[in-house]
């Protein structure tokens, strides 16, 4: 569609006052360029939020397009009992690159944060997750749980997880979990024995893998995600 690459830069700042709640969700399906990446969009985004007493901030992002994506939403949990959750899906193919993650700074006491990231890498794509969890000495009895799940398909796809964990209060707890799996030929065989074609079989596996995150979106967007995933798989298998 485009011969020259495009550039998208967004700057977002969210301030959640006492007892407030904000859910910020993003669904991006930019043009990724041709099979060599020519004309693809470069997506560089800066997002930051701060939570005060008893407030909550949720980040939900789904990345499908753009040739290169850099995005690291961060939250400062300044007030006591504040909460922040980060949910991310990154679905890449061909030579797409996504370098995403989240940064959570625990300053107040009794704060909680959850980082849940799911990535799908097909063909020659590269998925990188960077997560920073920083608990300051002033943050008593705080808690973080980070989970990074990756699904790969193809001989040249690559996924990398890079966690940064800093805990300066021995009453606080940080948990980190990561795993990588591949779309097994046996799974595809079993699904195709039930009458599904190869495209529908791969789509069904990916949709089930990501359902726990995109179900958190509003109903209107929730219905579109499986359709977008199926169309992307069909385009890949052409």
Q: Which of 187, 104, 175, 176 has its CA nearest to residue 151?
A: 187
pLDDT at 1 over 60: no
pLDDT for residue 2: 58
Mean pLDDT of 60-66: 89
Banded model confidence at residue 222, pLDDT cuts 50, 70, 90: confident
Give pLDDT, residue 147: 94
- Mean pLDDT of the 131-156 span: 92
Tell me the whole-structure pTM to 2 decimals: 0.91
What does the pLDDT look like over 8-39, one tens digit per residue? 899 999 999 999 999 999 998 888 877 766 77
Local confidence band at 54 (pLDDT 50, 70, 90 cut-offs)? very high
pLDDT average, residue stretch 89-106: 92
pLDDT digits (tens, 9 = 90+) for 156-196: 888 999 999 999 999 999 999 998 988 888 888 888 888 88
| pLDDT, the chain, mean | 90
Residue pointed to by tokens 């043009």: 31
Specify the pLDDT at position 99: 92
Contacts of 238 (CB under 8 A, 6+ apart): none
Mean pLDDT of 142-149: 95
**Residue 65: band (very low, low, confident or very high) from pLDDT cuts 50, 70, 90:** confident
Q: Which pLDDT score, from 0 to 100, does residue 130 have? A: 92
Q: Which of 73-87, 116-130, 132-146 has the lowest mean pLDDT?
A: 116-130
H, E, C per residue of the chain: CCCCCEEEEEEEEEEECCCCEEEEEEEECCCCCCCCCCCCEEEEEEEEEEECCCCEEEEEEEECCCCEEEECCEEEECCCCCEEEEEEEEEECCCCEEEEEEEEEECCCCCEEEEEEEEEEECCCEEEEEEEEEECCCCCCCEEEEEEEEEEECCCCEEEEEEEEEECCCCCEEEEEEEEEECCHHHHHHHHHCCCCHHHHHHHHHHHHHHHHHCCCCHHHHHHHHHHHHHHHHHHCC
* Domain definitions of the chain by residue range: 6-183
Separation between Cα atoms, residue 4 and residue 1, nearest integer Å? 9
CA distance linking residue 110 with residue 105, whole number of Å: 13
Distances (CA, A) of 195 to 132, 184, 187, 188, 191: 44, 18, 13, 11, 7
pLDDT score at 14: 97
């Amino acid at each position: 569609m485009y011969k020259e690459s495009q550039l998208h830069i967004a700057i977002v700042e969210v301030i959640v006052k006492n007892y407030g709640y904000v859910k910020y969700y993003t669904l991006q399906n930019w043009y990724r360029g041709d099979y060599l990446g020519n004309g693809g969009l470069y997506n560089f985004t800066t997002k930051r939020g701060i939570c005060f007493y008893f407030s909550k901030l949720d980040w939900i992002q789904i990345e499908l397009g753009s040739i290169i994506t850099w995005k690291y939403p961060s939250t400062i949990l300044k007030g006591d009992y504040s909460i922040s959750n980060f949910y991310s899906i990154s679905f890449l193919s061909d030579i797409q690159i996504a370098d995403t993650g989240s940064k959570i700074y625990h300053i107040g006491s009794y704060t909680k944060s959850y980082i849940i990231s799911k990535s799908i890498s097909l063909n020659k794509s590269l998925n990188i997750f960077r997560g920073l969890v920083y608990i300051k000495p002033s943050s008593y009895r705080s808690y973080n749980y980070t989970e990074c799940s990756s699904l790969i398909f193809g001989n040249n796809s690559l996924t990398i997880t890079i966690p940064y964990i800093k805990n300066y209060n021995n009453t606080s707890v940080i948990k980190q979990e990561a795993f990588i799996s591949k779309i097994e030929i046996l799974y595809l065989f079993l699904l195709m024995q039930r009458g599904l074609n190869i495209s529908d079989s791969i789509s069904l596996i990916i949709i089930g893998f990501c359902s726990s995150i995109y179900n958190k979106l509003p109903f209107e967007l929730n219905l579109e995600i499986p359709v977008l995933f199926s169309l992307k798989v069909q385009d890949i298998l052409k």
